[in-house]
Structure 1
Amino acid sequence: MSAGPSTFRPDIEGLRAIAVGGVVAFHFGMSNLPGGFIGVDIFFVISGFLITRHLMQEIGRSGTVDLWRFYGRRARRLLPASLLVIVATLLAGYFILAPSEQQLYAKGALFASSYVINLWLLRWSFDYFAADTAINPFLHFWSLSVEEQFYLLWPAFLLLVARFRPGERGVAVFLGVATVASFAACAWMTTVSQPWAFYFSPLRAWEFAVGGLVSLTVAERWASGFRFAPAMGWAGLALIVVTYLTVSEADPFPGFLALMPVLGTAMLLLSGARQSAAGPAALLSLAPFQWTGKLSYSLYLWHWPVIVFATILIPDLSLAGRLACLAATFGLSLLSYHFVENPVRLSGWLSAGSVRSLGLAALLTSSGVTLSYGAAQVAARSVDPDQKLIAESAARSSSARQVDAGCVASLEQTEPRSCSLGAEEPRKTIVLFGDSHADHWSTPLAKIAEANNWRVVTYLKSSCSVAEVPTWNVRLMRAYEECDAWRKSAMKEIAKLKPDAVIVAQFSYSYVENDVNGGLEHLVSRNVWGGGLRASLAKLGETGAEVVLLRDVPVHKSYLDRCVARSLWQGRSATVCDTPRDQAIDERISETEQAATAGLRGVRYVDLTELFCNATTCPAMIGGKLTFRDRHHIATPYAATLAGSMQRAIFGNQIAAHWQ
């Protein structure tokens, strides 16, 4: 938003270009710019600066704020393009996404239309950087919801404060207090529950408030007399660039890390008040920055659904393909800017009365909600029996979870909790020990136990390795100390139980460096992995139990439930979802794990890969059943068919006498 032609600052337009450029580069897979997502934080500070400046000028002139006029302007500026993108995305999704996905993301469209999708994402326990988010075409609307919630409350807040403490200095004091309180809460929450810190508007309010403080303290007269303003501007730009280059999705963000782009933006805004040829304002005023900044809102709206749908249709999208997506994004942005944004924003008829603009807002909002609801209903009627079967297969819980959802310890849990499957008075007791990749084996193990009058006792914890290695939890965004405590206690309980056998399974590809599930940070080297694994296996072997380490399952290139459902919807074969064996398996990890078991008494390594892959391919469907419910968790109906093969591989000829 610009306060008017006389106060237009081209450096802010250029700063918008830097912000949207970082976000687009990050989402388009530019690995050299891992922190590009912080462009959103730049937008927040700019919004706080411009809106606060405009509102304080109005309060200064009239002593009040015309709230309806303010809301009307915001509605004309934001809602038409937003609704256009929502409708276009729903329409494209009808042809590209499976009906089950259409139903889910139509809900996202509904909440985006009503400006609360950030709260929906919180309730849905979505991590912005989790793999699930990669195909949510409405994910990026979270920041627009935060902005719109800010626009709704900020004018009334400023008006109230200005009446209580007249003058810019009094308002600045209140903004300072709000900044410190919001930032402190955000920094704390980042360490406790990062999604709340990321999505929840009050915990992002400090970024807007910083912009507001700058608008009050900058007083162009101050910056114009500040001889070091250009140097401060370059330092601010450097802070943003450093954040773009060094911060990544694996870091605890926003928290203290968000200070870098926020302070960098504040420094640029302060510096830019003095339009010096020696400062970055001159660079940001260049035509490419101005042109891109002018399109920044449309670019932000269009870029995400474009890249999401492109990567769904072409999973291995090349550089040329991504450049084509970039060109498409610019093309769509130009069209919406010239034919939707500007005509509505500059409409004299709409501007003539607040009631007209607010009526438009009500019409656009209700239209978005209605169309989203209608899209969900259409999708629900489009699900055929085969698609329903795939969805049910992916949703079925493992045997352990069917006994009790608490069988798999949560992230914060440190005390082990065992669950028992099979006979109450068993001939033999087997312990299943590990993370969610151990859990999916509970289904065939339960069938084996039932057939042989055995008992299976599970010790399971999400994202926790059996190997004694440092673990970083991507959801907690910190060292996973709870895993270390849980593992130690669980192993003590296993020793007290004195089982006949311990089956160990874990998602190795999420803990150790590999070429299959790459791109993750904080992975340990294979040497460290082998040493930590050997230490744990040796301790388990000291219990006197037979210890069996299962090789990790293959990791597919796509979420099989979604991919197969889409292929059915599009009339294609499910084989399009198969993954070449050499892309699903890293043989070096298997070699490291086999070496870790070598020479350990009573410890064996069992490879069940042939249950999922042939010599060249890991199919998405085997025997008419979905093999995995996502990329790497075995679908429960398929897991149930593996009991016989698993029993022969683990309890067969090698130790048959021991188990008969």
Structure 2
Amino acid sequence: MSPTAQIPRAQENKPSGIRSDIQGLRALAVVAVIFDHIWAWPSGGFVGVDVFFVISGFLITGLLLREHERTNHISFTVFYQRRIKRIIPAATLVLLVTLGAALLLFNRGRFDQTFWDAIWAFFFTANWHFAAAGTDYFLADGPISPLQHYWSLSVEEQFYFVWPGLMLAVLIVAAKVGVNRRRLVTGVVMALIIVVSFGWAMFDTQAHPTLAYFSTFTRAWELGVGALIAITSPWWSQIPARARPILAWVGLLGIVFSIFVINETLPFPAPWAVLPVVAAALVIAAGIGGEQRFLYPLTNRVSVYLGNISYSLYLWHFPVIILAGTLISPSSLRYYVLVLVGIAVLSVLAYNLVERPLHKSPWLGGKTSRQRRRFEWSTWRRQHGPALKRNGLAGATLVAFGVVFLAILPSLSPNPAAGYVPAAPKDSTAASLAPQADAVQAQLSSALLASTWPEFNPPIVNLADQRVPQWTENGCLNVTDRNLDLCSYGAAVPTRTAVVLGDSIATSWLPAVISALEPLGYSIQALTKESCPIARTDVLDPRARDTVFDECGSFTDWAQQKVRQLDPDLIILSDSFLSIKRLASQAEGPAAESEWTAAYAAALAALPARASKVSLMTPPGAENLQSCYTPLSQPGNCIRSIQDDWKVLLRAEASAATMAGTTFINTQSWFCIEALCPAFVDKSAVYADSSHLTATYSESIGAVLQEKLQSLKIAPPSA
């Protein structure tokens, strides 16, 4: 989004040249975005960004057209000086403050990530950076960048690196054709840009949904629609006065409808962004002929003021949301109060201390005499000096409050294990039936009681680097004929064969399985594919979100063929509890549990009868250490209770295993004590994110897995 700009001559109906209905549109858009990011409600709050794109395209194109009609030229120097003056100071302030806060609140690995995010954001390439990193706007798992929202600002500025030059070239050509046809020719060119960009968006949304969400090419049509309204403004200004309020209300209701109806499961940005884009265009077009008198929800003083500070609100809201989440539990009332107050106070202060004063200052005002420049700065100081002093004092007070808040924060942070009392030690004279499992329970108990962070080994820099090597080095996240041999492990001269089936969770179990079975003479073949559960039921593609993940069916058929060829002695199965939320049937609650039970039982029944089959329950997960391990946090902040979806999967797969006569192992006690699950054990992280095991911990519980399999008479005793 971009801040307020002057509007084309056709709609200058107020002395300031600022349209209150457009400022109200800004307010509606930014409030929808903020609500969506805080509460994930309304479901389509993210379409506020699309409204901003239309507004920006309209205002900037109108500014360029008006200049060309007045001077027969477009000054790139003046244009980009205005953009720098309006965009860079406020955006840079947020980047610097966010980096300062990240240095204090994030661990080293996450700070480094945020630093590079800031570099990309400063040079208006954040959208490509986040797209290349594979950030999924809707399904992000793990630490979210506090600067992710800069992607939309990058899209706008990239558009305006190209559009003024292209527009001037078109206008020059149009002048040769005939001066009266300049808008017509420009409009035709913009219409072509809209058609091509929208067509590409339709394709890319289906083929590469994450890339499509962030791409300038798939978003250019939205700015183009606003630009087309500006180009055709003389026609819109002829709309009868009685019809304009009707048109505006249709547009406003369309935006509201979009905010509440569109959700992350629908293809976006194409075609569903058409609804908020066209609706915003109708509101803008309806106000071209004169001031709107019957659009009070947008033109009231509160809406107009929120629209005035909407750029600051947009810039500050996301860092506040993410940073506050490292200080206070995001589900608590204190968190919501802190976030709302923080966004409001920082935005108002930044608007009055940086954005508005610099916009009104003589900075980058062009070439003038030294005397004239001194006069302009002197006038500026007289006009803005008192307000700057007042707001500066308020800012200093805010900083002091922040220091006090951080000092008392540890006493405010909840610890899920605060009431935990370890069980009485067992009789040391009695032999343990499961010494390895008991040792893990003792380590988990120590982790729950820990009051200080251990010296992690490996260090917590980038947890993704601690994923299991079978995932990162051999590509066993997706096993095919090409890497089948690379995903075969175990004894040099095997006497038994084991197969591991499942999704990425099964991949993360591989170090444990290898550690458990290799000493017993097993060869281990991984047959795993990310996002493909064991259960034979349709699930949605995690990338497209609204289409069935057809790859799972073909992979399962291929894996079963390989299983028959291998004729294994043992088959170990495991999959993610998150998949139960991706059912193509959209079933939830008991219906989802019933569907999963039947589908999982069918998958087990299809496996060779000769093989011993073990359904290994997925780890319950914990808070992501990359997020919760910070200079100000305590170990208790990373403890998580078991989620409801995990419990549903537990019941479904345990029941299915019973139906199919398959051994089911509930692994909860390997990761949690009762319902409390720490994120680390001893000096090692348990998870490389919030659900996939690290290489270190997976290998460490191989002894527990071996002990369990031997106690069940599934694996032979150790030599």
Return the letter of the residue paired with 1:43: F
1:8 maps onto 2:75 in alignment: no
Tell me the CA shift for residue 129 of structure 1. 2.4
What TM-score, normalized to structure 1? 0.87
Unaligned runs of 5+ in 1: 358-382
Return the letter of the residue paired with 2:195: V
1:198 maps onto 2:257 in alignment: no
Give the 3-state SS of the residue equivalent to 2:135 in structure 1.
coil
Tell me the CA shift for residue 554 of structure 1. 0.5
Aligned 1:373-392 pairs, distance under 5 A: 386=456, 389-391=459-461
CA contact (8 A) 1:127 1:195 kept: yes
1:294 maps onto 2:308 in alignment: yes
CA distance in 1, matches of 2:454, 2:229: 57
CA contact (8 A) 2:540 2:548 kept: yes
Tell me which residue corresponds to 2:691: 632
Return the letter of the residue paired with 1:400: Q
What TM-score, normalized to structure 2? 0.80
Give the 3-state SS of the residue equivalent to 2:654 in structure 1.
helix
CA distance in 1, matches of 2:365, 2:465: 51
CA distance in 2, matches of 1:548, 1:434: 12
CA distance in 1, matches of 2:236, 2:140: 48
1:480 maps onto 2:549 in alignment: yes
Tell me the CA shift for residue 186 of structure 1. 1.0
1:600 maps onto 2:667 in alignment: no
CA contact (8 A) 2:621 2:687 kept: no
Tell me which residue corresponds to 2:709: 650
CA contact (8 A) 2:298 2:304 kept: yes
Tell me which residue corresponds to 1:153: 162
CA distance in 2, matches of 1:97, 1:156: 42
Residue 628 of structure 2: which of 563, 572, 575 is its match?
563
Return the letter of the residue paired with 1:549: S
1:21 maps onto 2:91 in alignment: no
Tell me the CA shift for residue 393 of structure 1. 6.7
Greater shift in the superposed pair: 183-192 or 213-222:
213-222
CA 1:426–1:256: 2 relative to 1, 3 Å: same
More helix by share: 1
Tell me the CA shift for residue 306 of structure 1. 0.7
CA distance in 2, matches of 1:520, 1:136: 32
CA distance in 2, matches of 1:266, 1:458: 54
CA contact (8 A) 1:439 1:460 kept: yes
CA contact (8 A) 2:109 2:626 kept: no
Unaligned runs of 5+ in 2: 8-14, 176-181, 374-452
Q: Deviations over 1:94-141 (max 9, x none)?
A: 111111111111011111111111121122222222334753111111
Tell me which residue corresponds to 1:550: 616
CA distance in 1, matches of 2:304, 2:481: 53
Aligned 1:69-84 pairs, distance under 5 A: 69-84=78-93
Return the letter of the residue paired with 1:26: D
Tell me which residue corresponds to 2:69: 60
1:591 maps onto 2:658 in alignment: no
CA 1:304–1:406: 2 relative to 1, 3 Å: same
Tell me the CA shift for residue 195 of structure 1. 2.0
1:186 maps onto 2:245 in alignment: no
Tell me the CA shift for residue 424 of structure 1. 4.7
Tell me which residue corresponds to 1:259: 274
Return the letter of the residue paired with 1:48: G
CA distance in 1, matches of 2:569, 2:368: 77
Tell me the CA shift for residue 595 of structure 1. 1.4
Larger Rg: 2
Q: How many residue pairs get matched?
A: 618
Tell me the CA shift for residue 625 of structure 1. 2.3
1:141 maps onto 2:144 in alignment: no
Aligned 1:390-539 pairs, distance under 5 A: 390-391=460-461, 395-401=465-471, 404-409=473-478, 417=484, 419-477=487-545, 478-512=547-581, 525-539=592-606
CA contact (8 A) 1:14 1:292 kept: yes
Return the letter of the residue paired with 2:685: L
CA 1:81–1:523: 2 relative to 1, 3 Å: farther
Tell me the CA shift for residue 624 of structure 1. 3.0
Tell me the CA shift for residue 474 of structure 1. 2.8
Tell me which residue corresponds to 1:305: 319
CA distance in 2, matches of 1:35, 1:298: 22
CA 1:471–1:95: 2 relative to 1, 3 Å: same
CA contact (8 A) 1:399 1:442 kept: no
CA contact (8 A) 1:430 1:503 kept: yes
1:612 maps onto 2:671 in alignment: yes
Return the letter of the residue paired with 1:9: R
CA distance in 1, matches of 2:318, 2:214: 18
Q: Deviations over 1:229-271 (max 9, x none)?
A: 3222222212211111122233331110111111111111111
Return the letter of the residue paired with 1:63: N
CA contact (8 A) 1:394 1:636 kept: no
State the Cα RMSD in Å: 2.9
CA 1:6–1:94: 2 relative to 1, 3 Å: closer
Give the 3-state SS of the residue equivalent to 2:459 in structure 1.
helix
CA contact (8 A) 2:455 2:683 kept: no
CA 1:349–1:657: 2 relative to 1, 3 Å: closer
Give the 3-state SS of the residue equivalent to 1:457 in structure 2.
strand
Return the letter of the residue paired with 1:451: P
CA distance in 2, matches of 1:399, 1:524: 37
Return the letter of the residue paired with 2:169: L
Return the letter of the residue paired with 1:599: M
